[in-house]
Structure 1
Amino acid sequence: MKNLLKCVGLCVVLFAWLACSSASAQNYQLVWSDEFNNDGVPDPSCWNYEEGFARNEELQWYQPDNARCKDGLLLIEARKEHRANPLYKENSTHWSTSREFVECTSSSITTAGKKEFLYGRFEVRARIPVGKGAWPAIWTLGSNMEWPSCGEIDIMEFYRKGGVPHILANAAWGTEQQWNAKWNSKAIPFAHFLEQNPDWASEFHVWRMDWDEEAIRLYLDNELLNEIKLQDTCNGSLGDNKNPFMQPHYLLLNLAVGGINGGPVSDATYPIRYEVDYVRVYQKK
């Protein structure tokens, strides 16, 4: 009898959760999605490419060739390559121009100027690489100010902190100092997810952001990872004391390698593959 009551109790809880989830979903309507169902390049009406060395002293040279749609997936692949760095300057001390060669290529695609959204539910189903040196991300930026006053939301980042793999969920905004961000960051050891599912890395997972006038809530497979209250996210004077999360943002999907957070990577790690099943954006009816 005790086991029966326990089972009934669990069913009641599950039913309540499903009812709540369904009610929540009914408050949203799909406003844009990319299912990546057409083989070839990502839809040019939605996506742009970053090119070259971008940020964070990362190893990869971004280029369009490393992003392709195939069999219903967006595939972003980092590859070991060796060719001359067209930005190279002898005796330069800047990380992007002091490198004589490009040693690794990858892709970063963005919806800047094409698909930008203010508030809503964002869902991305993906299988991420977790090898040493991999730094995949799902994130957003505002487009009307210099970083970080434009606002940054990291729906997903994966990299090693102190040599230990973590999944991160963050937001950043401006301060009184140029290029110096205020962060609200949560880093969850990857072991937390492996304890729940030893096969986690071989499977697809859903990252979700629920963003409204009050808060940004970041989830992984319905587990809340971080909640950022918008009452706490106003820029400093360099950002006109505005709240960067009360303006439209665009999406970025990228696979970085190495750099200040990715850390060292061995040649055996390549090629590194990041697979995205879909991107969906919902807004309240």
Structure 2
Amino acid sequence: MLVQSEFFTEADGEPVAVENARGRGEVLLVCEHASRRLPERYGDLGLSEEALASHIAWDPGALAVARLMSKSLDATLIYQRFSRLIYDCNRPPESPAAIRDVSEVFRIPGNENLSEAERSRRTTALYMPFRDRIREEIEARRRRGQRTVFVTVHSFTPVYFGRERPVEIGILHDTDSRLADRMLEAAADTHLYRVERNEPYGPADGVTHTLEAHALPAGLLNVMIEIRNDLIADETGQGVAADFLTGLLRESLADVQG
């Protein structure tokens, strides 16, 4: 609590947000990169507005899609209220990618030459409350006999280091592919999106940490969804993507036990 009070101002508020906390649906939605906001004490980290609005700071459109899915599925939604530039909550504390000093073409001056004390302060203030809130939610659902299907929602850029990415929706998984397999089968005949397995990232890239930390130990059906962010840049695109993914999940969960 002391670290929290020193880290955040009253204007900052809490690091973790929960919406539809009493949702009765089986899906639990998580959005690790929901926000581009920085805690007041960090200013702009020495970055331009262009950089702060870009994908290095957050996953544009991901929270909007997750919110629409939450309404359709009556799903509880947990998300991080601050930018991954301060701490990437989809990375463990020991990962160099948890706090980057360079992201694609951008240097991040405010993250350069950090002390171990500063890294620890950020971990305690941002990662640990996020991790603990997810754990608490899964345990509360277990106690009341509510099934949990664990789904994380992300977005990605259409171009990365100059290379175009033709995939439009990625269905990602770690060692448990039960739900991902069924979703890919259900999406095989769609003409709406190009849907692929473990693209544009996969477990080898370290992107499945949240699944590893929360879903795999509990044996929960789980999947990580990646949506190309140019497709969800406005309300229409967000609605279409949310409807598609909601339908895909419903169809798949009707056939998968877990």
Class of the TM-score when normalised by the shorter of the 2 chains:
under 0.3
Q: Considering fraction of residues, name the structure with more strand.
A: 1
- TM (normalized to structure 1)? 0.24
The higher radius of gyration belongs to: 1
**What is the TM-score when the length of structure 2 is the normalising length?**
0.26
